[in-house]
Structure 1
């Protein structure tokens, strides 16, 4: 419900006029100064000379509605691995031609899926073997399952109405075992042979981590009261990871997978509230995750009581974390790093600060949620991998406040008996602060953002970029709304300048003193997604309208590609920003991939590089070290269809069922992608 402010309240145009007269600080265009990288490094790529040109020479494509991968002339792609392909010769591949015949109801379907590549691939990270760019281990998130594309006559998410999907699962209970096995993380060895990429079956590195895999709990929330269950009275080990969205890669070579929309897996909040024997503190602690009052989308609680809030009230607190996995040790146990906070994690992007500490940047992917940064207490040791093993268990989590002046602060989420994060505010200790990080951030006065998703650091400048996918609930007029368990200001603000924000935007941050452990920063709106044609393109952010598009000040609309719903972002080794999308595009085209320079005369000149098949979301955006391969996840192609009536036949064509897959994009004849 939206309540209007008084007539004399300031309009959002007035708020925008207060901000960023500081063009001298972060000016869009050639004048932007590269960050001095002396003593500071991004682990993933060597710092390059930011004065180098963007080296983008491809012919940009137009938006497409084709059921295909569309690339610029001179580019091709390999379908590296599909959902259901087995990682081991002892297990058969999924026969996707039999989905509508019920192949996933066969007795060993769930067992086989635990050794097959998972569904709906998302984040990708490449870990080179022996320093090679053509041989490595790929970690891929399998975020969720689209059950309507897996099981015959399954009503999918539309079946929430009238509990139709719940009745389906009651009748076909194997759905739960199969879908739990299809989520989590897939780890595969890959190699480029004779120019083409392929995965290595039976590799010692191949591994599946699912919704039932034992995972240790680390950090301050380990053993906390809210982490304890009947099956784990010590609160030190959880079973499984799921809802894995984006990810990250640590300087010591481990993978960080992000648990995002975990609330969709837990049912019966109303039944929990009706119990008289449950501590009200537990019930209230669920408030900011918007748990489902009765049935939930996946209906796992039909078979597994872990997902029934009325039976296991504290189980959800064991999810919503960043999970660290060692891809080079398949015998290792993953660890949930609770010091990084609990929320709808989109990803986790580590950066080594000049003093050796590690900063990890993260977004909370929901409307009106926040941007976070963790700063480790210990220092990275480049000579001793084992010494870094628990570096993410000790440190301080911070949340961002974006001021209208163009400055900002990182506010520490630290329990303090004297306040503001104390018992009177609903926190008994630091574990409670981390478990209820969203509420702690709200109480500290953090800025509610428009679905902050991926947060990444530019390897050439050290600047931080935040993709805010969109927020249709951002109101044009001043007002307040109740969302996610608290009342907030729903009107536009300097860092979220549009209402409604139908196409999303990207924020650029420069840490004070070029220090990633600093608690102060400067910021700028880098891009307001949308259609830059006509009079919609603006170069002055004090003139923002609902349909405005802003491309870092770039003024030639004819040279710009329209974009909507920026999701994952990444960088090539010379600092170009690559963006993949999840959502509505300005011309209702398919989702795809775009790229723009972040400095120099072409800063903000966004061009489309790739378009995905019908119904898909494009995820991943990870380069090989030599920049000659761009790995992309094609998630949920054919979304909105069914096994009987598929909307897409990608990647196999003909009458085949759609299958989420990882692709490897490369330039014919070799060379850096984008050149």
Structure 2
């Protein structure tokens, strides 16, 4: 997470505080009862079985403290320094490695991690740095149906560590080649993997007609208002409709019509240019707003592949930063970049179907002082005709959120011709609005947030939860905002604290939640409160202690609801249990009760990794969890910080069966309860 190739959690110390804002939140914060009663949708009430709206509201308001029946496991201890290089889960649970970077998706041999990766090998093996994921069950009916034992696991591959890819400790000075670029492109993207339970354990089905790699070179079709736009046209694609590849797929989403949404996040870091080229043609305001820089994140692809030189191909960056829809059930389908959902550093996409079959997609832009978005489809979901939903994400209204200090909020439309989004202000059409989505949000006055990341939607109430990971620029002086004319350099503003982001130097982050008015996903207003301010309860600084009811955690990132309404929270901090994290320990997965706020530590991770991506079988008895970049920030030796998962320290090794550990590898583990029960119960 702290790696230059994965830049985000750059923390500083600011001793100042602003208790007045915190006091305001406590004074004006909606009670749990009032929050639910004021915004609960009639259809959601009916789903709870209430005989009338009034009766249901009354029953809900006076319900038992925990509608999920509590959290049924004992917390595991924090993995503090000196850290254990393993996964720990509660007694009565078992975690096994399912698949790791380089494991084959075919009958061909697995990659030998002691050798450099090649493009040919990577195209038939599981990609690098696994992230968001979803389990698509095979058709199933009733308890014990096929879908609980066989499905498609679809997972993102966010980025790569070039040193591990090419077996080099001197990547920054090595000669860059096109072969190296192509190998790294192949390690990015998405994997579709058929998994099946045999003899009580899940494994990868090889071969499978469904197993598939989508990479940084896979042809994708551009749809929606930016399709064919002049700002997307290049010499290689004069139509502006065909993009090679999807990159930096962080979190994800999934649709009720059975497709997967891969979200492109830190795409800017793959592009660069020369000092001479930038001296002749300096960065434009548009490029600065999206964080373009001469050296990018240090991948150096532009040295061997001109399409990643943003002076040689200035429109190529505009072709990334989108939500990409993938049909996992059709191996011959073409991924679609759905531009109506806006261009920014997409972290995730939470899809919700309302009581009237309206469809909304909730999204966060993962950078300091960026925004929260909602897209409402123009057409409605057709549960009886999958084909009718195929292009549902191509037309509708894109909104950005303004969080008011009294617990109310407004969805501001990002529609060309409205709210200053006109030609006079640099928006020639709706295509330019979505391409320059950040500038449009600046113009309409949205609320700058503390790195909006994953979205999770409660399975019954449609209440939306969002992680705000951290912001070391919040509350620092002198205060500044994103300029209304869209000229602010990405992440450079220094906003004051506000009700929705109440802490200066928000190093530990928080989780916010909201409910659209009347339970209508198409509503243009909402009510919100803060679910948790994360922190270290042992910190001597009061505003760093947080308000967690239970075990401490910080830097919340991954977020997911199981079918019973438990909220699972994954963290993304430095991962070494040092400094600000000495008491909290390494990264974790927590389980929280949304009604009571009780939070328990379910999983601790190996050293120097991120816990990211979680999904389960429909019966909740097999859970899939991603472990990304174990051993990050190694120096000298690939295994300086971790040898997981091949060390054998954490039970069975991956299918590669390496006798000598060559390097740590991102992996997916499958967790089961030893008594065969539901995870978390």
Which ranges of 4 or more aligned residues in structure 1 deviate by more than 6 Å? 46-50
What is residue 83 of structure 1 aligned with on the other side?
A: 101
After TM superposition, list the pairs within 5 Å mapping 1:352-363 onto structure 2.
Answer: 352-363=353-364
**2:169 matches 1:154:** yes
SS of structure 2 residue aligned to 1:632 = strand
Structure 1: runs of 5+ lacking an equivalent: 1-9, 157-164, 537-544, 555-559
What is residue 595 of structure 1 aligned with on the other side?
A: 591
What is residue 436 of structure 1 aligned with on the other side?
A: 436
SS of structure 2 residue aligned to 1:610 = strand
Deviation at 1:594, TM superposition (A): 0.2
Cα distance in 1 for partners of 2:672, 2:301 equals: 40
Cα distance in 2 for partners of 1:272, 1:386 equals: 47
What is residue 384 of structure 2 aligned with on the other side?
A: 383
Deviation at 1:152, TM superposition (A): 2.8
Deviation at 1:649, TM superposition (A): 1.0
Deviation at 1:477, TM superposition (A): 5.8
Structure 1 pair 117–40 and aligned structure 2 pair: CA distance change class (3 A)? same
Deviation at 1:534, TM superposition (A): 7.6
How many correspondences in the alignment?
619
Cα distance in 2 for partners of 1:41, 1:192 equals: 36
Q: Residues 29 and 406 of structure 2 are in contact (CA less than 8 Å); yes or no, is this contact kept in structure 1?
A: no
What is residue 652 of structure 1 aligned with on the other side?
A: 646
Cα distance in 2 for partners of 1:612, 1:582 equals: 11
Structure 1 pair 137–581 and aligned structure 2 pair: CA distance change class (3 A)? same
SS of structure 2 residue aligned to 1:480 = coil
Instruction: Give the one of 169, 187, 190 matched to 1:185.
Output: 190
Structure 1 window deviating more from structure 2 (349-358 vs 236-245): it is 349-358
Cα distance in 1 for partners of 2:461, 2:674 equals: 30
Deviation at 1:134, TM superposition (A): 1.4
Structure 1 pair 129–354 and aligned structure 2 pair: CA distance change class (3 A)? same
Deviation at 1:14, TM superposition (A): 3.5
Structure 1 window deviating more from structure 2 (324-333 vs 566-575): it is 566-575
Q: Residues 122 and 619 of structure 1 are in contact (CA less than 8 Å); yes or no, is this contact kept in structure 2?
A: yes
Structure 1 pair 147–641 and aligned structure 2 pair: CA distance change class (3 A)? same
**2:530 matches 1:525:** yes
What is residue 369 of structure 1 aligned with on the other side?
A: 370
Structure 2: runs of 5+ lacking an equivalent: 1-15, 51-59, 141-146, 483-487, 575-580, 649-659
Cα distance in 2 for partners of 1:447, 1:550 equals: 23
Cα distance in 2 for partners of 1:485, 1:533 equals: 34
What is residue 158 of structure 2 aligned with on the other side?
A: 143
Cα distance in 2 for partners of 1:349, 1:379 equals: 16
Structure 1 pair 669–564 and aligned structure 2 pair: CA distance change class (3 A)? same
What is residue 475 of structure 1 aligned with on the other side?
A: 475
Deviation at 1:275, TM superposition (A): 4.8
SS of structure 2 residue aligned to 1:263 = helix
Q: Residues 17 and 504 of structure 2 are in contact (CA less than 8 Å); yes or no, is this contact kept in structure 1?
A: no
What is residue 61 of structure 1 aligned with on the other side?
A: 76
Cα distance in 1 for partners of 2:17, 2:424 equals: 35
**2:122 matches 1:126:** no
Q: Deviations over 1:415-434 (max 9, x none)?
A: 10x65111122111100110
**2:547 matches 1:550:** yes
Cα distance in 2 for partners of 1:589, 1:507 equals: 23
Cα distance in 1 for partners of 2:45, 2:267 equals: 33
What is residue 70 of structure 1 aligned with on the other side?
A: 88
TM-score under structure 2 length normalisation: 0.86
What is residue 262 of structure 2 aligned with on the other side?
A: 257
Deviation at 1:563, TM superposition (A): 0.0
**2:228 matches 1:223:** yes
**2:633 matches 1:637:** no
Q: Residues 538 and 583 of structure 2 are in contact (CA less than 8 Å); yes or no, is this contact kept in structure 1?
A: no
What is residue 328 of structure 2 aligned with on the other side?
A: 327
TM-score under structure 1 length normalisation: 0.87
Deviation at 1:522, TM superposition (A): 0.9
Q: Residues 149 and 643 of structure 1 are in contact (CA less than 8 Å); yes or no, is this contact kept in structure 2?
A: no
RMSD over aligned CA atoms reads: 2.5
Q: Deviations over 1:500-551 (max 9, x none)?
A: 0111100011211111111111111110111234887xxxxxxxx5313113
Cα distance in 2 for partners of 1:78, 1:11 equals: 44
Q: Residues 35 and 462 of structure 1 are in contact (CA less than 8 Å); yes or no, is this contact kept in structure 2?
A: no
After TM superposition, list the pairs within 5 Å mapping 1:407-426 onto structure 2.
Answer: 407-416=408-417, 419-426=419-426
Deviation at 1:55, TM superposition (A): 3.8
Q: Residues 29 and 407 of structure 2 are in contact (CA less than 8 Å); yes or no, is this contact kept in structure 1?
A: no
Structure 1 pair 638–581 and aligned structure 2 pair: CA distance change class (3 A)? same
Cα distance in 2 for partners of 1:294, 1:311 equals: 14
Deviation at 1:92, TM superposition (A): 2.6
Structure 1 window deviating more from structure 2 (299-308 vs 216-225): it is 299-308
Q: Residues 40 and 518 of structure 2 are in contact (CA less than 8 Å); yes or no, is this contact kept in structure 1?
A: no
What is residue 540 of structure 1 aligned with on the other side?
A: none
SS of structure 1 residue aligned to 2:77 = coil
**2:460 matches 1:460:** yes
Q: Residues 39 and 516 of structure 2 are in contact (CA less than 8 Å); yes or no, is this contact kept in structure 1?
A: no
Structure 1 pair 192–659 and aligned structure 2 pair: CA distance change class (3 A)? same
Cα distance in 2 for partners of 1:481, 1:191 equals: 51
Q: Deviations over 1:150-194 (max 9, x none)?
A: 3333346xxxxxxxx1x3142x55321211111100101001112
Q: Residues 127 and 190 of structure 2 are in contact (CA less than 8 Å); yes or no, is this contact kept in structure 1?
A: yes
**2:668 matches 1:662:** yes
Cα distance in 2 for partners of 1:368, 1:272 equals: 30
Deviation at 1:335, TM superposition (A): 0.2
Q: Residues 346 and 363 of structure 2 are in contact (CA less than 8 Å); yes or no, is this contact kept in structure 1?
A: yes
Structure 1 pair 617–11 and aligned structure 2 pair: CA distance change class (3 A)? closer
Structure 1 pair 478–404 and aligned structure 2 pair: CA distance change class (3 A)? farther
Structure 1 pair 432–273 and aligned structure 2 pair: CA distance change class (3 A)? farther
Structure 1 window deviating more from structure 2 (53-62 vs 375-384): it is 53-62
